[in-house]
Structure 1
Amino acid sequence: MPDTPTWDPQQYLRHAAHRSRPFHDLLARVPEPPARPARIADLGCGAGNVTALLADRWPDAHITGLDNSPQMLAEAAALAGPTPGGGRLDFTTADATDWAPAEHFDLIVSNAALQWVPHHPASFGRWIDALTPGGTFAFQVPGNFTAPSHTLLNEVCGAPRWRDRLGGHATRSVHVLEPVDYLDRLTDLGCTADVWETTYIHLLQGEDPVLDWVKGTALRPVLTALADDPPAREEFLAEYRDLLRAAYPVGRHGTPFPFRRIFAVARRR
């Protein structure tokens, strides 16, 4: 991927319970694989924590997590090996930008990864062709790029103080389609598609929890770009933090953080 950020698994996992909830909701609508034991790929597996949920659902499956981040794969490696149900969980390096399956899968799933991949719908045909008959391609992506967490980040990156160093991050095109567009593309490829969206209201705790959340995801390119200049990084974070505090005020029970997500489950006929 262009401008690939450096990932921090521990930072990402700080909100693991909230981040994994959409994956549970996605799996709830995934039909049973056409074969058992199933062959499953998790594209953009990250730290492997949700990949392990696939083994809970299909304990005899052979599941492979794929990611292009060495840091995330190092974290996931601790989960690799035989599963209690007789299956196997492994992880390997692959980039969703150009991943071409070398075998057939009963299920290809991707959780909050394809938003980083330009023109990812162009790969749907290749991935669906790699499904066994009756197999499923399922994914979820954030749909909150017009939320303050993102628009304020773009605003700060594009300000005169940061434009030369970070302006490219302010203008990074959003690669996520609207739900109806995903539905059309998947149906055009001969799939039976189920597409929907959900807005979660996460109740976050702690000091500046929205900033803490985006440090694990959307803020990674900026943190990577400023990694060699700690004073500039702290100055940027303070400016962005103050804007987030105003946009996401603390309530009586925590900080409400609305987060829209888009889901698709496409079954190959």
Structure 2
Amino acid sequence: MHSDTASAGIHAAVTHAAPTWDPQQYLRHAGHRTQPFLDLLARIPELPTRPARIADLGCGPGNVTALLAERWPEAHITGFDLSPQMLERATTQYAGTTPGGGSLDFRHGDLTTWLPEQPYDLIVSNAALQWVPNHPGSFAAWINGLRPGGTFAFQVPGNFTAPSHALLAQLCDTPRWRSRLAGHGARYVHLLDPAEYLARFTELGCAVETWETTYHQLLSGPDPVLDWVKGTALRPVLTALGDDRSAVEAFLTEYRDLLREAYPPGPRGTVFPFRRIFAVARKENRPC
């Protein structure tokens, strides 16, 4: 999924149920969430064939998948996601023939097991691989599923030591919440640093560049950091608490108070630093 999810909709660990996603909540911060994908898109080289075949892993509500069709209007693009809610939104809003004669469609896909079913010119993932602890183990198979000269590109959040996520993990492990939520706030600490991703793709024989960027996002409205994480990092917690509204309200109140202290509002909004990690790996014209 595109979350942080973006995308969103890809479950994290086999010991926890897949989160239930809310496309409306996720899209409340669509502008800030989309900017890293635009920066990633700008670094993707031209694709080897036309019309291109593209896979978007963890497509979420489809809003960034549609941007792929703007860059490659003749391409045949398939978005994969685990969340029924996200797939319904994506299909309703974006599926069909594109103005350039290409196509957009969306399918169920679990990134813990997904393999390319046909050769692709581009496999891309926007803010989804943080939900897949073993994702580096899939790189070889995904690169193998590219045509020669094809590209695998992704970006993931790299802010899991930031107060927004550290406080969530600490709160889940307090005596009040431990029995219901232990582990739900620290599900994505398996991400690699840019240098480690660089080494993985270099070992596969690919031409690769990796980098990181910290976006200092100015969020508006009351408790905007809480509103942000309601669309992403909080989804596993909200899913675990389910329909227990009193528990949900109690947890959100505690977490809100911690976030207010960590991210005080300024005169023009609340500054929310957000680190992102990027990788663009190009399969050379010989097997990787």
TM-score by length of 2: 0.92
CA offsets per residue over residues 216-245 of structure 1, 9 Å max, x none? 000000000112210010000000000000
Tell me: CA distance 1:204–1:55, structure 2 relative to 1, closer, same or farther (3 Å): same
Residue in structure 2 matching 1:256, options 261, 268, 271: 271
Of the three residues 174, 199, 215, the one matched with 1:200 is: 215
| 1:145 equivalent in structure 2 | 160
Q: Which residue number in structure 2 is paired with residue 99 of structure 1?
A: 114
Determine the structure 1 residue equivalent to 2:174.
Answer: 159
1:168 alignment partner, SS class:
coil
CA offsets per residue over residues 174-209 of structure 1, 9 Å max, x none?
A: 121011000000110010001000000010000000
**In structure 2, what is the Cα distance between the partners aligned to 1:226 and 1:57?**
41
Contact 1:204–1:255 (CA<8 Å) still a contact in 2? yes
- Residue 33 of structure 2 is aligned to residue 19 of structure 1: yes
**Aligned-partner Cα distance in 2 for 1:51–1:157:** 33
Instruction: Answer yes or no: is 1:36 the counterpart of 2:53.
Output: no
> Match of 1:48, SS?
coil
Match of 1:185 in 2: 200
Note the C-alpha offset of 1:168.
Answer: 2.4
**Identity between Structure 1 and Structure 2 (%):** 71
Q: Counterpart of 1:73?
A: 87
What CA distance in whole angstroms lies between the structure 1 residues aligned with 2:111 and 2:155?
14
- Aligned counterpart, 2:21: 7
Kept in 2, the 8 Å contact 1:41–1:66? The answer is yes
Over 6 Å off, 4+ runs: none
- CA distance in 1: counterparts of 2:172 and 2:178, whole angstroms: 6
CA distance in 1, matches of 2:187, 2:233: 11
Within the candidate set 45, 60, 76, 1:62 is matched to: 76
User: Which SS does the other structure have where 1:263 is aligned?
Assistant: strand
Does the 8 Å CA contact 2:129/2:156 hold for their aligned counterparts?
yes
Residues 160-169 or 120-129, more deviating:
160-169
What corresponds to 2:183 in structure 1? 168
Distance 1:172 1:212 in 2: 20
Please name the residue that 1:45 is paired with: 59
Residue number in structure 2 paired with 1:240: 255
**How far off is 1:173 after superposition?**
5.1
2:241 paired with 1:226: yes
Question: Could you list the runs of 5+ residues in structure 2 that have no partner in the other structure?
Answer: 1-10
Q: Does the 8 Å CA contact 2:131/2:187 hold for their aligned counterparts? A: no
In structure 1, what residue type is equivalent to 2:25? Q
* Cα distance in 2, alignment partners of residues 232 and 94 from structure 1: 32
Output the CA distance in 1 between the equivalents of 2:131 and 2:216.
23
Question: Which consecutive unaligned segments of at least 5 residues does structure 1 have?
Answer: none
Partner secondary structure for residue 132 of structure 1: strand
Alpha-carbon distance in structure 1 between the residues aligned to 2:221 and 2:196: 37
Give the paired residue count.
269
1:112 and 1:142 map into 2 onto residues whose CA distance is 6
The Cα RMSD (Å) is 0.8
SS at match of 1:169: coil
Matched, 1:211 2:214: no
Shift of 1:94: 0.6
In the aligned structure 2, how far is the partner of 1:173 from the partner of 1:220?
13
